[in-house]
Each structure stands twice: as C-alpha cells, then as structure tokens.
Amino acid sequence: MNRNETLIAILKDQVVPALGCTEPGAVAYAVARAKELLGTKVDSMVVYVDKNVLKNGLGVGIPGTPERGIVFACALALEIGKSEYKLEVLKDVTPEAIDAARAVAASGCIDLRLKEDAPGLYISVDAKGQGGESRVVIEGAHTNITYEAVNGKVVKEGSAPVNCDDAETSTTGIKFEIKKYSIDDMIAFANEVPSEDIAFMQDGIDMNMKIATDAIDRGLSICNTLLKKDSSLEGKAKAYTAGGSENRMAGSPLPVMSSAGSGNHGMTAIVPINIIGQGKGIDNDKIRRAVALSHLVTNYIKVYLGPLSPVCGCGVAAGMGAAAGLTYMQGGTNAQVKAAINNMSAGITGMLCDGAKMGCSLKVACAAAAAIDASELALNHVEIPSDNGILSSKAELTMQNIATVSVKGMDNTDNVILQLMLNRT
C-alpha cells in the first residue's frame, strides 16, 4: 500500500464506534464470545483482567443502565451480548435485561480477578455450563481475540501480540504502521487525500456531537455549568467535549466514535475541532481533513504509549491530536502544527489516568482548552523552546519522550493508583 492507502487503513481500523467505556465493553465482548462458543447457559465464569482494564472498569457507568462496573457488564453480556457488535456489544439493552443482569451479578457466579503479571491489555474469560466449558482471551487491543477454545479443543489461536508497552519493538497490526510516517507526511495526507476517501470522518463528527449535545439528565451537569461560566466559542468547545465524556461515563445509551481504542480520545480528537471550525465558518471538507489529522497524531503517540497507560491519553494523546488539527484547520503551516504539538506537550503532559468515570469529563475539558491555547500560540508564532524539559526539536521525538516517561518512568504508577481505588474509604 502507498502512504495514502496505509493511513486510510489506519483510520478505518482505529476510528470505530464504541458504546460506553471501552474497557468494560471489551470484557463484555469477550464474555459474549465465550457464551456463544459454549452454546448453553453459563452457570459460572472466571474473568481475569490486567490492572488498567480493572482500573478503568471499576466505577464507570454501563451504557443504557444505571449500573456501574465490570461485573455488571459481564452479567449484561450474558443476557443480551452479541460479539458481532464488538465494542457495541451491549447495545440491545432492555429494562428486562437489566433486571436479569442484576440477578446474575448478585448470584456471585462471576468471579472477577486481577491478572497481576499481564504485560499489557489482557482479558480472559473461562465460562462453564451444563458439562461444558469455553475460554476466550483478548490481548494487546480491545477487540483482539488471540485464543478461543471449547471443551479443551482450540478453535482459534494466534501468536500473542508484541508487548504494546515496548515502544521500540511494537509492530503488530496496521496501527503500528503509523510509526513509519512523520507529522509532515500526515499533513501531506490531509492536504492531498480525495474528499471521498475520508468522508467517513463525518460519521464520527455527527456521532460525537450528538452525545455532546444530548439533553438527557445524566451525570453532574458539568457541561451546562461550564457553559454558564463561559459561552464563548472556546468555552463551548471545552464544555461540549466535557459533556460528551460526562454522558458516556454516566451510562448514556448513545455510541461515540472512538480514536485509538478510546471513546474519550474520540471526544477530544473531534469535538473541539468541529465546534471551532463551525463557529469560524470553515468549510466541512477542511474540518474533516483536520479531524483526520487529529486522529492520526493521536494514534501516533498511542502506539508508543500503549493502549492503556498511567498518563491520561485523552489529554496527552488526543489533546495533541486536537492541537494539531486545530492549527491545520486554521491555516497553520507545517512548522506551526508541530509547534502546537510541542506547546501542548509543555503543558498537561503529567495528567494521570485514575480510571474511567464521570470525572474524566474534567480531564477532557482541560485537554480541549489546552489544545485551543496551544494552537493559538503556535498560530501566533509562539513555541515553547525545545530545550525545555522533555521537549525535542522534533514533535515526533517529543511524543516518543512522553511515552518513555509513561512506560518506563511510571512503571509502578498504575499499581499504586489501583490500590488506592480498591482500598478507598
């Protein structure tokens, strides 16, 4: 494939619809698949997850329900989950299914455990029922099933993906092809790709704006409160990005368009660009090109960070994508786009990920505001010097430096955060 074909393939692989938080969604996907393989009623199951999946699934709302957490997501998947829907596995939820899932969760038949030695994203489900058993394993990415077995007979087995936390050797999957391209290559793609080839970017814009502006009574009214404080164009970008995150974290039944495996990344990568673009009268084709660039930059840093990390990917990865897209959309030069990435890196690099929950809406609000500021500074020829902290003269190296700090320098951070969450008083 040539450059354009490869980058389009990456976008189609990494920009996909998701219902609710992607971590419990991925566990529910594995449970649904294990149920289907077993072919009979599941009487009990043991579910192992890595520390980041557990961290992100502990307190987050399950879409279309008032319930929270991984165990309930597993129970609901047993009732209505269809693996063909992948990260929208729970979209057929009904009041009757919620009641049934509550009974299943209360029965204690779902045993959720921490896989302490998992090197990256890991989910396994061992299901038993009526004399049979099935096993499903997901590794490396939210929908990447690497193993399936029924009654001990292997149905599917693939080599375990290269450890996604190893920035130097991760090469498994189309998304890792992004490492071959520079920011200049991505900007050239955004300039040159035929409009029809990225028309699907509009699906993500429409989807995420719908949940961002949805008026259902969910969450803490963060969006409305922020709008009362600041109804400027920049204020709206910040508030609506927060609103979309708030809705999905509270259990909204509406899907979002994810980016690099995360719905909140998708909110940050898309919403600020669209609101600023529409508010300034920029044509839709340019907005879609800017959103495509935003997704590509987000994916670039995520392949180095790994699918889940101690730092908040919404701020660090998608925030940089948004800063790049905003600058490009408003006529910035290649140098200014890269300056916006460095400006963003100089700001909220240290934002921690302490699990998925409604509070994430404040993180994406900060990311949206910081991206707008980083872009505005770059467009006015202001760039933080490359000798500051972990910045580099090349935006690509700056993003890699951030990943190195997260992967190597914060190796035990997730363990500490998880223990604080588990031992909350």
Give the pLDDT means over successive 10-residue stretches in the chain (425 positions): 95 92 94 96 97 90 92 97 94 96 97 92 96 94 93 83 38 83 98 97 97 75 90 96 91 91 94 98 98 98 89 91 98 98 90 87 95 98 94 95 91 87 76
Shared-domain flag, residues 150 and 188: no
- Six-digit token string for 392: 């580099």
Q: How would you classify the pairing of strands 44-49 and 110-114? A: parallel
Domain boundary pick from 157, 184, 219: 157
Structural domain of residue 70, as residue ranges? 18-157
18 closest CA partner among 113, 116, 142: 142
In this structure, what CATH number is given to the domain that contains residue 328? 1.10.4100
Domain boundary pick from 157, 188, 219: 157
Answer positive or negative: Cα dihedral of 13, 18, 23, 26: negative
Measured CA to CA, the distance from residue 108 to residue 130 in angstroms comes to: 18
Shared-domain flag, residues 49 and 112: yes
Shared-domain flag, residues 128 and 180: no
Domain boundary pick from 157, 192, 225: 157
Residue 167 domain-assigned (yes or no)? no
Shared-domain flag, residues 198 and 269: yes
Shared-domain flag, residues 203 and 329: yes
| pLDDT at residue 218, rounded to an integer | 64
- Six-digit token string for 233: 């164009």
Residue 31 domain-assigned (yes or no)? yes
Shared-domain flag, residues 271 and 418: yes
| pLDDT at residue 350, rounded to an integer | 81
Measured CA to CA, the distance from residue 361 to residue 248 in angstroms comes to: 10
Q: Decide: helix, strand or coil at residue 218.
A: coil
Shared-domain flag, residues 189 and 115: no
Q: How many domains does the chain have?
A: 2
| pLDDT at residue 308, rounded to an integer | 82
44 closest CA partner among 103, 130, 122: 130
Measured CA to CA, the distance from residue 69 to residue 377 in angstroms comes to: 41
| pLDDT at residue 159, rounded to an integer | 58
Residue 185 domain-assigned (yes or no)? yes
Shared-domain flag, residues 109 and 225: no
Shared-domain flag, residues 149 and 187: no
Partners of residue 325 on adjacent β-strands? none
The amino acid at residue 216 is I
**Number of helices followed by number of strands (H, E) in the chain:** 17, 8
Residue 267 domain-assigned (yes or no)? yes
Residue 164 domain-assigned (yes or no)? no
Residue 130 domain-assigned (yes or no)? yes
pTM: 0.88
Shared-domain flag, residues 291 and 393: yes
Q: Is 152 exposed, middle or buried (0-12, 13-18, 19+ CB in 10 A)?
A: exposed
Residue 10 domain-assigned (yes or no)? no
Residue 320 domain-assigned (yes or no)? yes
In this structure, what CATH number is given to the domain that contains residue 59? 3.30.1330
Shared-domain flag, residues 135 and 183: no
Measured CA to CA, the distance from residue 6 to residue 296 in angstroms comes to: 11
Which residues contact residue 189 at a Cβ distance below 8 angstroms, ignoring those fewer than 6 apart?
3, 4, 7, 181, 292, 293, 296
Shared-domain flag, residues 85 and 231: no
Partners of residue 111 on adjacent β-strands? 46
| pLDDT at residue 141, rounded to an integer | 86
Q: Is 409 exposed, middle or buried (0-12, 13-18, 19+ CB in 10 A)?
A: exposed
The answer to whether the CB of 133 falls within 8 A of the CB of 41 is no
